[in-house]
Amino acid sequence: MPQASSPIGVFDSGVGGLSVLRALLATMPHERFVYLADSANAPYGERGDAYVAARTHAITQYLCEQHHIKALVVACNTATAAAIHEVRSSHPNLPLVGLEPAIKPALAVTKTGHVGVIGTRGTLTSAKFGKLMTALAGQAHFVVQPCDGLAHAIERSVAQPVPAPGSAVSSTDTGALCERYLHAMGAFGTAPGQMDTLVLGCTHYIFAAHELRALVGPGVQFIETGEPVARQAWRLLEAAGLLHVPEHTDHGKPPAQPGATPSVQLLTTGPVAMLEAAAQRWLDLPASCCQSVQVP
């Protein structure tokens, strides 16, 4: 049986889920984490539901058997949509947190009532997302845009130089794709009829914030899911009595400031160099945290 000292598992189709891991580290700095990027099979967003569900089950089983995880964060909108209900059924005692595009938080902040949503085709055409949109029909005007290839382009971008603050949209594949898809959506801004809120419906997209910001301007709010997911994971672990909390820490709430160096193990089914570059660039973690694994 998992103990409070057991690690929390986190997985995504690639390195995009590191954005969720970053939020988890900030919220639960005393925990151990095992992150798995299924980069050999990415991107999930352009594969069928059956394939994504099979990979999700295989990775969940691997993390449970090989790393004895006490909870699982599915840091992938597409995997959540395709398989989380099945994973809940097959692992009823495993605290489980999934992702969905943050439509409800966007409704709380939009002033114009016009909200843009970008995500993978797999997420935005899923039955789960369709139900969410139906439930919120009439509460705002939504412009939904599948962004084929964008998550993969962001994966490849980790080896490229970080754009300078204030510089124009990059000429990389990431910048070109962001420009194509946002242009197709319509006008962004704070004037009536413009989209003043953009939901980043894929964990990768926050790592293209520079390119997106250059296109929509300073007044548009970005809504992503890392922090809400981290808070939900903390609540589930607290309810299950599985939080690893030092004696001097207040048990009534997550630590406000990280007070310890967490233990992080980063795994990938793809090239380890990509994960090493992403870990260093986005989380300031050393290459020694990373290794390549096989998950049949």
Per DSSP, the three-state class of 204 is coil
221 by DSSP, 3-state: which? strand
Question: Please, what's the b/e burial string for 23-62 (b: 16 or more CB within 10 A of its CB; e: otherwise)?
Answer: bbbbbbbbbbbbbbbbbbbbbbbbbebeebbebbeebbeb
Whole-angstrom distance, CA of residue 15 vs CA of residue 128? 23
* Residue 9 phi, psi dihedral angles, 5° rounding: -90, 140
> How far is residue 131's CA from residue 198's CA, in Å, rounded to a whole number?
20
Annotated catalytic residue within 178, 202, 289, 290: 202
Q: How far apart are the first and last CA of the chain?
A: 24
Other C-beta atoms within 10 Å of 137: how many?
8
76 catalytic? Reply is: yes
Tokens of 213: 């910001």
- Measure the CA–CA gap between 216 and 248, rounded to whole angstroms: 45
Active site residue 64: no
Q: How far apart are CA 97 and CA 70, in angstroms?
A: 12
**How many residues does the structure list for the chain?**
296
Query: DSSP 3-state assignment of 155?
Result: helix
Asked if 195 contacts 185 with a C-beta cutoff of 8 angstroms, the reply is yes
Tokens of 158: 């980790």
How many Cα atoms are found within 13 Å in the side-chain-facing hemisphere of 106?
31
Q: Which residues are catalytic?
A: 76, 202
